[in-house]
Amino acid sequence: MNISVSKATSLQPASVDPITLEIIRGALRSAQLEMGSLLERTAMSPVIREKQDYFTGIVDRDLNLLIGTRMPSGGRVVPPVLKQFPISEMRPGDIFLYNDCYATDGAVSHSPDMVFVNPVFIDGKVEGFVFAWAHFLDIGGSHPSSTTPDTENIFQEGIIIPVVRLCENGVINDDILRIFIRNSRFTEIVRGDTRSMIAAVQLGEKRLREVLGRYGTETAHKAFSALISHTEQTVTERMHAAFPPGQYKFADVVDDDGKGSGPLAIRMTMESDGESLVLDATASDDQTDGPINFLMSSVIPSMVFGLFMTADKPDLLPNEGLLQCIDDLKLRPGSLLKPKFPAPLGQRATVSRRVHTTCYGLVGVADPDAGHASSSAYSLGKISGLREGSEKPYLKTMGFGVGQGARPYADGIDAVYYIAQRNFPIEFSEMNFPVRIRRYGIHRDSGGPGRWRGGCGIVREIELLGDDASLMLRLTNCVHPPFGINGGMSGRAGRFTMNPGTPQEEMLPMLAEGVPMRCGDILRVETPGGGGVGHPFDRPVELVLRDVLGEFISVESALEDYGVVVDLDNDEVDLAATKAIRRDRRWSTKLVHRNGYYDEDAWYEASYNLKDAHHA
């Protein structure tokens, strides 16, 4: 059975009055907010409740997305359910569950993302769907947390659940639940999170039923398509303005897959004939043995561009209108973006962030003044061990913020893990795990210099107080830091160091599982900064001074990178000296910067010669 999504513009033109439209827009928004707040309040896994690694949304009866999350993650999560359970077999009170990445063509792209789908019935007919998916803490597999750099195939990344009916009549199927949670190292948490997810989609279902009941399904559906076409029109217009007829090429690079296959490149060509946009990513490198393969749903690049193009339009809903701006996406089976079953996927964020940066690199190629600089992928670490005394296993997950790329109108954001994904308070971590945080601050000088500075990464030092434990680590863009654009320079690398400043000091790998950590060891994490935008000598002097005083950049970097002479004894700038330096030492720039400036073609070509450069 082939389930396709009809293109929103092919729907009937909407004729809904503006008032009803606004009210329905508000109702969709608040339904989604409510689902999210229920999850944050009740979920047990810190990954969901504190880190907020969850997604909720609503889909109409034609499977058009009505509201999703403003994050380019995940594909269409409802069609795979219909493949297994035709609408005629669905009943009110059903909730479906799955996490099968390959069988769903990347609806979710690594196994811990558990999808819950609730059909919404009006008068015995399915009129829409509510979904929620979230990253579960641990679903079995070879190592705690299931996603580990160590795997060779997806079977080592935890239980794979095909689309199953988890709830019938609103009542949970206890047999399925028991099989599922028995596979986890953290049964109580996974059970609690499953309950929260069910409560969230049931709440969303109730809200969608209220909207449909209040306005009638036909009026509501007209409003839905109007809301979709508003978003779609803006995205389409702006995409064609950004990409006039022609061909645009860009590439970005991943350091490694944890098994020595790196560096690896994502290569994209955008081609416009003025009518349609074709994105060809077939030149991207081959899939890898290590689990950084990104089984990319076909809607991901559209969503990246869609969010980019609507950044200044908060009133447009993140809906189907974001998902269709690329008319044709070409992917090559066996490549990093379309790996073959059963290649491992656990660390795919490493590659998926490069897909994002390659997309806005393309925007920069088409118009250097519009391009954004690059950001590292979010970085993380996990400590697993046994609690002293009780010998119960624990898993301390740690997300580390990185510096974000600068924009042509603002600095990059300092120290951000990802949208809406929050750090664990130090006081919470120390209360609940055998660790002491000795330092948590801004990683000075990590942000790429530019008229707009790249955001800075962070520094964190963690001491293990309990029995010996095992570490999982991930840090990207350390060999190939996030690029700068339009004169801006690349961000600067990060590193993991064990016991810094002691005779036992040791550099750790960037992507690894099973690194031993002994009681009393101190792990120092330094994360990379984002790339800069524009020539650093054009950065206003007072901003450079502020950055020095706030310890975002050093006095040396102010001089070398920004041409600004800061007098720290008096907290001021030597303006005359600064003027002279900025006049005499100003260098010329090209489009992209990373270990030197490149123009468009040289940059793309360089992505083929990285290995040689790397090993040289």
d(CA 235, CA 28): 20
8 Å CB contact between 374 and 483: yes
Instruction: Name the minimum Å distance from CB 252 to other proteins.
Output: 17
Instruction: Name the minimum Å distance from CB 224 to other proteins.
Output: 13
Among 78, 81, 264, 442, binds other proteins (CB under 8 A): 442
- In the bound state with other proteins, the residue whose beta carbon lies nearer, of 45 and 288, is 45
Instruction: Name the minimum Å distance from CB 150 to other proteins.
Output: 26
- Residue 267's nearest CA partner among 329, 355, 343 is 355
Q: Which of residues 382-421 bind other proteins (CB under 8 A)?
A: 399, 401, 407, 410-411, 413-421
d(CA 424, CA 397): 9
- Residue 355's nearest CA partner among 307, 412, 321, 400 is 307
8 Å CB contact between 290 and 347: yes
d(CA 10, CA 221): 14
Q: Which of residues 42-81 bind other proteins (CB under 8 A)?
A: 42-46, 49-50, 52, 69-71
Instruction: Name the minimum Å distance from CB 245 to other proteins.
Output: 25
Instruction: For strands 379-386 and 95-98, give the pairing.
Output: unpaired
Instruction: Name the minimum Å distance from CB 156 to other proteins.
Output: 26
Phi first, then psi, for residue 44 (nearest 5°) are -100, -35
Using CB under 8 A, which of the segments 17-25, 78-86, 103-111, 151-159 binds other proteins? 17-25
- In the bound state with other proteins, the residue whose beta carbon lies nearer, of 198 and 253, is 198
Exposed/middle/buried for residue 113 (C-beta within 10 Å: 0-12, 13-18, 19+): buried
Q: Which of residues 531-550 bind other proteins (CB under 8 A)?
A: 546, 549-550
Using CB under 8 A, which of the segments 78-86, 116-124, 422-430, 466-474 binds other proteins? 422-430
- In the bound state with other proteins, the residue whose beta carbon lies nearer, of 437 and 479, is 437
Q: Please confirm whether the linkage preceding 263 is cis (ω < 30° from 0).
A: yes
Instruction: For strands 95-98 and 65-67, give the pairing.
Output: unpaired
Instruction: For strands 592-593 and 597-598, give the pairing.
Output: antiparallel
Q: Which of residues 24-43 bind other proteins (CB under 8 A)?
A: 25-27, 30, 33-34, 36-38, 40-43
- In the bound state with other proteins, the residue whose beta carbon lies nearer, of 39 and 331, is 39
- In the bound state with other proteins, the residue whose beta carbon lies nearer, of 133 and 308, is 308
- Residue 111's nearest CA partner among 95, 131, 133 is 133
DSSP state of 104: G
Q: What is the DSSP string of 128-164?
A: EEEEEEEE-S---SSSTTS--TT-SSGGGG-----SE
Q: Which of residues 456-475 bind other proteins (CB under 8 A)?
A: 458, 461
d(CA 186, CA 394): 9
The 178-207 contact track toward other proteins, x by CB under 8 A, reads ----------xx-xx--xx-xx--xx----
21 is written with which tokens?
């439209």
- The total number of residues shown for the chain amounts to 616
Among 237, 571, 572, 599, binds other proteins (CB under 8 A): 571
Among 259, 436, 590, 614, binds other proteins (CB under 8 A): 436
- In the bound state with other proteins, the residue whose beta carbon lies nearer, of 18 and 503, is 18
> Judged by CB under 8 A, does residue 576 bind other proteins?
no
Instruction: Name the minimum Å distance from CB 265 to other proteins.
Output: 23
- In the bound state with other proteins, the residue whose beta carbon lies nearer, of 226 and 606, is 226
d(CA 13, CA 196): 38
Instruction: Name the minimum Å distance from CB 57 to other proteins.
Output: 13
Instruction: Name the minimum Å distance from CB 396 to other proteins.
Output: 13
Instruction: Name the minimum Å distance from CB 465 to other proteins.
Output: 9
Among 21, 115, 177, 522, binds other proteins (CB under 8 A): 21
Q: Which of residues 79-118 bind other proteins (CB under 8 A)?
A: none
- Residue 376's nearest CA partner among 330, 413, 335 is 413
- In the bound state with other proteins, the residue whose beta carbon lies nearer, of 31 and 163, is 31
d(CA 36, CA 460): 29
The CA-atom distances, in angstroms, between 301 and each of 66, 73, 352, 392 are 18, 10, 10, 43
The CA-atom distances, in angstroms, between 468 and each of 109, 292, 383, 515 are 33, 28, 10, 11
- In the bound state with other proteins, the residue whose beta carbon lies nearer, of 163 and 307, is 307
By CB under 8 A, how many residues form the interface with other proteins?
86
Q: Which of residues 250-309 bind other proteins (CB under 8 A)?
A: 307-308
Among 135, 143, 230, 539, binds other proteins (CB under 8 A): 230
Instruction: Name the minimum Å distance from CB 313 to other proteins.
Output: 7
Q: Which of residues 339-358 bind other proteins (CB under 8 A)?
A: none
DSSP state of 311: T
